[in-house]
Amino acid sequence: MPLDEFEFSVLKTIQTHHLIFPGHKVLVALSGGMDSMSLLNILLKLRQKLNCEIFAAHLNHMIRENAIRDEQFVYSYCKKAGVKIFVERFDVPKFCADRKIGIEEGARAARYTFLNRIAHENGIDLIALAHNLNDLVETILYRIVRGTGLSGIVCMKLKDENKIRPLLYFKREQIEAYIKRNNIPYVQDETNFNLKYSRNYIRHRIVPALKLLNSDLENAFSQVHFSGMMLENHVKRLIKKYSERIFRCGKRIIFDSKDMDEFEIIELVKYCAGQMNVDLNYRQIQLVVSKLNENSWSIDLSEDIAIKKGFDFFSIEKKCKFMNILKVGKPGVYKFNDWTFELSSEVKSNEYVFIHDQGGVCIRKRKAGEKIAGVKMKDMMIDSKIPAFLRDEMPVVCTIDRIIWVPYVYVDRCFKERKEDSLVLNLLQNPYSCILELRKDERRKMV
Amino acid sequence: MPLDEFEFSVLKTIQTHHLIFPGHKVLVALSGGMDSMSLLNILLKLRQKLNCEIFAAHLNHMIRENAIRDEQFVYSYCKKAGVKIFVERFDVPKFCADRKIGIEEGARAARYTFLNRIAHENGIDLIALAHNLNDLVETILYRIVRGTGLSGIVCMKLKDENKIRPLLYFKREQIEAYIKRNNIPYVQDETNFNLKYSRNYIRHRIVPALKLLNSDLENAFSQVHFSGMMLENHVKRLIKKYSERIFRCGKRIIFDSKDMDEFEIIELVKYCAGQMNVDLNYRQIQLVVSKLNENSWSIDLSEDIAIKKGFDFFSIEKKCKFMNILKVGKPGVYKFNDWTFELSSEVKSNEYVFIHDQGGVCIRKRKAGEKIAGVKMKDMMIDSKIPAFLRDEMPVVCTIDRIIWVPYVYVDRCFKERKEDSLVLNLLQNPYSCILELRKDERRKMV
């Protein structure tokens, strides 16, 4: 049978955007509603041309009474059509009650877990979802209105890892007309439970009201979506480009923002916070932006994650306690915060001092207002380009009566010369060397 | 009198965003409505603290009957308050009829012309506009719904050249409360004539409906606006960064897109087209994006502007006729399209050939399918990295029976040696040298 106009348009979309490649196995998420039934029928009609294999999967969420009716409907439809279908039941209400999450959120999670598992177990490449342009408009509207800033705009994508949405740029009315034209049976959809009120409200009240201003509202929103997609790709590329400026050191992710603009810095902050499973909210972003020109600050992002700035460095870090003092006595390895030292008889590193006094030394944090030879330790640290967020963790190596070494900041020359019986305190590992080496040329020369 | 809370918040906004500097003269655009009357009163109260001078300006648009009442109201109010006010009348209906433009568009243009002129004539630094957060929400909604993509989001700014909007982040209800609290008189606003229906529709129908989804709709939209502002600054910085890749050659603006992403290319295309007074619409942007991976193409942007791609170069150009053939006889200067040659007795350029035949030569465009020594001219041009959009303008220098020179592509060695009586054809100027030199290393060596 030749393709009708709608099927042909879907084929064009699949080809232009490279959604399906020859040999692909495609799993249609089949609720039994109009959209997914259309998608299944269209893909079945295109499968020869696309040279792909079509499967279906249906999860009975066990929420609504007629869920069994839907399950039986899609099962027998696929049997008749000769399509292999995977059907499972999952007690979503129980799952959500156990986890204290909303029914929509739980259903969504269960569905995607199910689809991904079926795909994985059966060597299936792609999961085809039946979202249409109206879903897209409604979702963008919902997200903008609820307050997600620009990031809310990129909510559904034609292709998103193993998920494809071949109907995303088609209107609901086109799909309905296709269903009618071809006498395709369907059931009422079972999705969007909790969101139902908002969704239906947007669909039946807001969208028609907006259409009085622009009857082609869908087109207006696909513009926004299209710009949003390009922007998202740009941000991905930006982060890739700047990846060599991102350092993972212990409990921190630090990046060097030198010469970046506001937009770039905020995207990097969001990316690094994301790596720590934190989403910044709008107030936090505004706060960070308002402080971009200030030198040293700290903002809590969550109970245990903070963002700190020092010079051009931003550190997104887990809060934790620092060590205050560590006694160094016998030869051996010593850990002070993230710094590793070894006291031994040999020089084993580029960074070391000789310990003449068998009375031993200690490694401690700096003290408030502390001075070395009349110069404030704080000023020495500033001159040495130690970011503020590192200063309280820096190891200060002392004998009983004097500071002999603060790596990258100060060293007492007397302790750079070997004496008889001297031991060597080697700095073996320092997770911040990447940061501290970076600005070496800018450091004021120490006397 | 001490500042009240609202006045203090406005002061903070002015200070945080550096809207007004000491010594500035500020002109309040005073319609007489609630917003502008508030703004005037607040600025008068802050003028000592800000150390600035306040003026007012009112344009009677001569549209509504009570325009005269408004004019008299603001005039006498300012007289009483001791504020210098500039009042003028302008026949907007006639102006719009003459120009066949909408009344809102015409009123807006007339108003801004008036305000800028008054500012210029009186050495005034800033024009203060009274737009509020609700205006912002309504404008963003209107623009997204009407279809402007992301660029619609950045519609009003706190500071935009000489315009400032100190009330932009305050809600209408805050302004109303301020007016009431202080018994400030006002008239009904005279703006938004044609837009009135849409404006009022959004204000009274759409916004209240959306507020059922999120009562703090203003905050949600200020997030979008905030992200949009950062993005706009990022784009400005991007264009500045890439400015050395943008070349103005004759009727063309060409940029080198090597290693740019889609987003960056589209922003540069929009920028360059903007320099030629063309705004790309959504369809055109989509078309350009869909062809980014193709090598050579041309798309009309308007009646007389086209965008063309050749290799990594994009050319935004005025359409015009090319010269087909030019006879070169006596010594002198010859112009062929944008290329300048001189026939003389001396070598005056790095690029030249000797003309031995007094019968003269001609410069012409290439012919379809033309070959030189068995090799297609087209292939030679491709190998020489001549972008497709330049190929039909390239000068082909011929004697009566052969091609002797195609700059950057081919030269017949016989004509590189001087003979007795030879004249020299020098290439004096070539507007595309910047482009053609750029890829010199990539050009395949010609025999």
The answer to whether A226 faces chain B, any CB pair under 8 Å, is yes
* Interchain pair A223, B261: CB under 8 A: no
The answer for A 162-201 residues in CB contact with B (under 8 A) is 198, 201
Ligand-binding site membership of A31 (annotated): yes
Q: Which ipTM was obtained for this model?
A: 0.85
Q: Where are the alpha helices (DSSP H) in B242-366?
A: 262-275, 282-290
The answer to whether B213 faces chain A, any CB pair under 8 Å, is yes
* Chain A residue at shortest CA distance from B209: A206
Tell me the nearest-neighbour CA distance from B134 into chain A, angstroms: 14
Burial A127-157 (b: 16+ CB within 10 A, else e): bbbbbbbbbbbbbbbbbbbebbbbbbbbbbb
* Chain A residue at shortest CA distance from B231: A263
* Interchain pair B209, A213: CB under 8 A: no
Structure tokens at A438: 């970076």
Structure tokens at A380: 């020495």
Contacts A137 to B, Cβ<8 Å: none
* Interchain pair B233, A261: CB under 8 A: yes
> A–B: how many Cβ contacts below 8 A?
115
Residues ≥6 apart with Cβ < 8 Å to B81? B40, B44
* Interchain pair A201, B223: CB under 8 A: no
* Interchain pair B150, A153: CB under 8 A: yes
Contact A105, A118 (CB under 8 A): no
E strands, A250-390, are: 252-256, 296-300, 305-310, 313-318, 325-328, 332-336, 339-344, 352-355, 361-364, 371-372, 375-376
Residue type at position A413: R
Contacts B282 to A, Cβ<8 Å: 219, 223, 226
CA neighbours closer than 13 Å in the CB half-sphere of residue B131: 20
Residue type at position A123: G
pLDDT digits (tens, 9 = 90+) for B41-99: 999 999 999 999 999 999 998 888 788 999 999 999 999 999 999 999 999 899 989 98
* Interchain pair A213, B149: CB under 8 A: no
CA neighbours closer than 13 Å in the CB half-sphere of residue A7: 18
Mean pLDDT, residues A12-28: 94
Contacts A202 to B, Cβ<8 Å: 213
- State the CB neighbour count (10 A cutoff) for residue B48: 8
pLDDT at B146: 86
The answer to whether A277 faces chain B, any CB pair under 8 Å, is no
Contacts B214 to A, Cβ<8 Å: 145-147
Percent of chain B with pLDDT over 70: 96
Contacts A148 to B, Cβ<8 Å: 220, 223
The answer for B 331-350 residues in CB contact with A (under 8 A) is none
* Interchain pair A230, B206: CB under 8 A: no
Mean pLDDT, residues A198-226: 90
Structure tokens at B177: 């409360």
* Interchain pair B145, A213: CB under 8 A: yes
Among A92-96, A151-155, A167-171, B438-442, which range has the highest average pLDDT?
A167-171
Of A145, A205, A213, the CB nearest to B214: A145
Of A198, A220, A263, the CB nearest to B147: A220
H/E stretch holding A290 reads: helix A282-290
pLDDT tier, B310 (very low <50, low <70, confident <90, very high otherwise):
very high
Ligand-binding site membership of B32 (annotated): yes
pLDDT digits (tens, 9 = 90+) for A25-41: 999 999 999 999 999 99
The answer to whether B15 faces chain A, any CB pair under 8 Å, is no
Mean pLDDT, residues A298-305: 94
Mean pLDDT, residues B245-260: 93
pLDDT digits (tens, 9 = 90+) for A416-430: 888 888 889 999 988
Q: What is the mean pLDDT of chain A?
A: 90
Cα–Cα distance measured from residue A328 to residue A334, given in angstroms and rounded to the nearest whole number: 7
Tell me the nearest-neighbour CA distance from A281 into chain B, angstroms: 10
Cα–Cα distance measured from residue B59 to residue B326, given in angstroms and rounded to the nearest whole number: 58
pLDDT at B152: 77
* Chain A residue at shortest CA distance from B207: A206
The answer to whether A281 faces chain B, any CB pair under 8 Å, is no
pLDDT digits (tens, 9 = 90+) for A85-140: 999 999 999 998 998 888 888 888 999 999 999 999 999 999 999 999 999 999 99
Select from A227, A236, A268 the residue whose CB has the most chain B CBs within 10 Å, as the one to mutate to test that interface. A227
Q: How far is CA A118 from CA A77, A115, B136, in A?
A: 19, 5, 48
Ligand-binding site membership of A33 (annotated): yes
Q: Do strands A332-336 and A339-344 pair parallel, antiparallel, or not at all (unpaired)?
A: antiparallel
Contacts B149 to A, Cβ<8 Å: 223-224, 226-227
Contacts B285 to A, Cβ<8 Å: 226
Residue among B145, B241, B222, B130 nearest B179 (CA): B130
Contacts B233 to A, Cβ<8 Å: 261-263
* Interchain pair A209, B205: CB under 8 A: yes
* Interchain pair A213, B202: CB under 8 A: yes
pLDDT tier, A191 (very low <50, low <70, confident <90, very high otherwise):
low
pLDDT digits (tens, 9 = 90+) for B356-409: 876 678 999 999 999 998 999 999 999 988 999 999 999 999 988 889 999 999
Q: What is the DSSP letter of A363?
A: E
Cα–Cα distance measured from residue B47 to residue B51, given in angstroms and rounded to the nearest whole number: 5
Ligand-binding site membership of A34 (annotated): yes
Contacts B289 to A, Cβ<8 Å: 230
pLDDT at B196: 59
* Interchain pair A213, B142: CB under 8 A: yes
pLDDT at A447: 38
Identify any residues that bridge with A249 across adjacent strands, giving them in sequence order. A252
pLDDT digits (tens, 9 = 90+) for B279-296: 998 889 989 998 998 989
Cα–Cα distance measured from residue B333 to residue B331, given in angstroms and rounded to the nearest whole number: 7
* Chain B residue at shortest CA distance from A282: B223
Q: Do strands B126-128 and B163-164 pair parallel, antiparallel, or not at all (unpaired)?
A: parallel
The answer for B 103-142 residues in CB contact with A (under 8 A) is 142
Is pLDDT above 80 for A149? no
Residues ≥6 apart with Cβ < 8 Å to B120? none
Contacts A284 to B, Cβ<8 Å: none
pLDDT digits (tens, 9 = 90+) for A218-259: 999 988 898 899 999 999 999 999 999 999 988 899 999 999
Is pLDDT above 90 for A59? yes
CA B405, B409, B411, B412 dihedral sign is negative
Which domains occur in chain B, in start order?
5-199 (3.40.50.620), 242-318 (3.30.465), 325-442 (no CATH)
Residue among B435, B434, B438, B372 nearest B409 (CA): B372
Q: How far is CA B329 from CA A141, B315, B395, in A?
A: 70, 33, 16
pLDDT at B358: 66
Tell me the nearest-neighbour CA distance from A379 into chain B, angstroms: 29
Contact A414, A424 (CB under 8 A): no
Contacts A196 to B, Cβ<8 Å: none
Ligand-binding site membership of A36 (annotated): yes
Contacts A153 to B, Cβ<8 Å: 150
Tell me the nearest-neighbour CA distance from A198 into chain B, angstroms: 7
The answer to whether A18 faces chain B, any CB pair under 8 Å, is no
pLDDT digits (tens, 9 = 90+) for B267-280: 999 999 999 999 99
Of B213, B226, B289, the CB nearest to A286: B226
The answer to whether A212 faces chain B, any CB pair under 8 Å, is yes
pLDDT digits (tens, 9 = 90+) for B188-241: 865 544 455 777 889 888 999 999 999 999 999 988 898 899 999 999 999 999
The answer to whether A205 faces chain B, any CB pair under 8 Å, is yes
Separation of CA B88 from chain center: 30
Residue type at position B240: K
Of B214, B262, B285, the CB nearest to A233: B262
Of B16, B145, B223, the CB nearest to A282: B223
* Interchain pair B153, A153: CB under 8 A: no
* Chain B residue at shortest CA distance from A200: B213
The answer to whether A292 faces chain B, any CB pair under 8 Å, is no
Is pLDDT above 90 for A151? no
